[in-house]
């Protein structure tokens, strides 16, 4: 199967941070794989061939972020975006010439992280950004133009409907709970009823008909693709 999204490996032991990074990167169309320590992260990198690694400096276990970065560099030019908690770590990142592509000091805005990831990939990959158009069957989700097309015909959607479709198309094949969809589309700080999701799904189904590859997963939520 052709890969439609760039893969990002995130190596970070703080689940609060990695969940947030995961959410925002997935919302932007990336495939995200999480590792809690350096060894797990290096294994994922070897198996999954990501486009970029988001790497915490302070990691539990044998390998800290600097060790991991050295091993990555020993094998090639995979871009690395460091996450650091302290200024003296920044000095080391810059001083040791580990070949870090960029770094962010905690606490950082997840939007800023997504922007940095995009910028690094624009610099390092001679390709269009990932996920510009997701096509499944006769449905096309054009993320740049914010258009949904059915057999080439534009289907008008509201902003929120399109955001929902974008989030779904960034999570192909995954069973997503209503809660995850609420968080991903409406935001973690949105206080609302999970039935909101059902209402918007119903609208998408009405507008896109059979072209919408969306299954109801009993007791969970929905699966796209």
| CB-nearer residue toward Ca ion: 12 or 140 | 12
> Rounded to whole angstroms, how far apart are CA atoms 106 and 96?
20
* Shortest separation between residue 59's beta carbon and Ca ion, angstroms: 6
Task: Please report whether residue 13 would count as binding Ca ion according to CB under 5 A.
Answer: yes
* Shortest separation between residue 144's beta carbon and Ca ion, angstroms: 35
| CB-nearer residue toward Ca ion: 88 or 153 | 88
| CB-nearer residue toward Ca ion: 86 or 146 | 86
Residue with tokens 């918007």: 200
Q: Nearest 5 degrees, angle CA 106-CA 112-CA 115?
A: 140
* Shortest separation between residue 79's beta carbon and Ca ion, angstroms: 20
Residue with tokens 């040791």: 96
| CB-nearer residue toward Ca ion: 13 or 132 | 13
39: number of CA atoms within 13 Å, CB side? 3
176-179: which pairs have CB atoms within 8 A and are 24 or more residues apart?
A: 176/220, 176/221, 176/222, 176/223, 176/224, 177/220, 177/221, 178/221, 178/222, 179/221
Total site size for Ca ion, rule CB under 5 A? 3
| CB-nearer residue toward Ca ion: 28 or 56 | 56
* Shortest separation between residue 14's beta carbon and Ca ion, angstroms: 5
> Rounded to whole angstroms, how far apart are CA atoms 132 and 41?
27
For residue 71, what is the enclosing H or E element? Answer: helix 65-75
Strand ranges in 19-72 using DSSP code E only, listed in sequence order: 31-35, 52-56
| CB-nearer residue toward Ca ion: 82 or 167 | 82
Q: Which residue is nearest to Ca ion (CB)?
A: 58
| CB-nearer residue toward Ca ion: 58 or 129 | 58
- Per-residue contact flags (x/-) with Ca ion for residues 44 to 73, judged by CB under 5 A: ------------x-x---------------
* Shortest separation between residue 15's beta carbon and Ca ion, angstroms: 11
* Shortest separation between residue 61's beta carbon and Ca ion, angstroms: 11
Task: Please report whether residue 161 would count as binding Ca ion according to CB under 5 A.
Answer: no
CA distances 132 to 26, 36, 115, 167, Å, are: 14, 30, 16, 13
What burial letters (b/e) apply to 114-136, b meaning 16+ CB within 10 Å?
Answer: bebbbebbeeeeeeeebbeebee
Task: Please report whether residue 19 would count as binding Ca ion according to CB under 5 A.
Answer: no
Interface contacts to Ca ion, rule CB under 5 A: 13, 56, 58
């Amino acid at each position: 199967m052709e890969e439609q999204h760039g893969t990002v490996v995130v190596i970070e032991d703080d689940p609060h941070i990695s969940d947030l990074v995961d959410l925002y990167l997935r919302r932007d169309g990336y495939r995200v794989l999480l590792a809690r320590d350096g060894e797990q992260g290096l294994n994922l990198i070897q198996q999954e061939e990501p486009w970029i690694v988001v790497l915490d400096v302070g990691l539990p276990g044998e390998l800290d972020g600097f060790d991991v970065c050295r091993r990555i560099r020993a094998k090639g030019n995979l871009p690395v975006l460091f996450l650091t908690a302290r200024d003296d770590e920044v000095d080391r990142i810059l001083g040791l010439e580990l070949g870090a592509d960029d770094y962010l000091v905690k606490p950082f805005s997840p939007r800023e992280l997504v922007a940095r990831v995009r910028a690094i990939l624009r610099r390092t990959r001679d390709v269009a950004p990932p996920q510009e158009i997701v096509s499944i069957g006769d449905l096309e989700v054009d993320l740049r133009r914010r258009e949904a097309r059915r057999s080439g015909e534009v289907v008008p959607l509201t902003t929120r409907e399109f955001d929902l479709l974008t989030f779904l198309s960034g999570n192909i094949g995954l069973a997503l709970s209503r809660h995850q969809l609420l968080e991903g589309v409406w935001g973690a700080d949105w206080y609302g009823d999970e039935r909101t999701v059902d209402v918007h799904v119903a609208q998408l189904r009405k507008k896109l008909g059979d072209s919408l590859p969306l299954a109801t997963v009993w007791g969970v939520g929905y699966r796209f693709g």
